[in-house]
């Protein structure tokens, strides 16, 4: 089944750096989980920020107008689906 959706014309074009301080043990656990799910820590943090803004009703110019569940790489809850691919089976891994 294919879902057709209109592309968002306000797609993010630039990025800005966000520096945070976190406990080293939590950072290591977070990076390990991200690697296991084949997503980058940045992808997860960006998704958390989008969800936090949405939960508080905050809008912004680059906000997607496509419902999260309709996004091809997202599950029913709107989160990025982990891709279990070559990473888990690489011997150097």
10 Å CB burial of residue 64 (0-12, 13-18, 19+) is middle
Higher pLDDT, 80 or 5: 80
Closest CA to 40 of 92, 87, 75, 90: 87
Number of H helices, E strands in the chain: 3, 0
**Residue 74 pLDDT:** 52
Render pLDDT for 35-67 as a digit per residue (tens, 0 to 9). Answer: 999 999 999 999 999 999 999 999 999 888 765
Q: Which residues contact 55 (CB under 8 A, 6 or more apart)?
A: none
The encoded tokens of residue 20 equal: 């945070």
Q: Could you state, in order of their start, the residue ranges of all structural domains in the chain?
A: 24-82
């Amino acid at each position: 089944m294919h879902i057709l959706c209109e592309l968002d014309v306000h797609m993010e074009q630039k990025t800005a750096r966000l520096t945070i301080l976190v406990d080293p043990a939590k950072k290591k656990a977070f990076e390990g989980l991200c690697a296991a799910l084949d997503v980058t820590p940045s992808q997860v943090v960006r998704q958390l920020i989008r969800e936090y803004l949405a939960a508080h009703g905050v809008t912004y110019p680059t906000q997607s107008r496509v419902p999260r569940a309709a996004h091809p790489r997202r599950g029913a809850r709107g989160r990025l689906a982990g891709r279990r691919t070559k990473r888990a089976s690489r011997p150097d891994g």
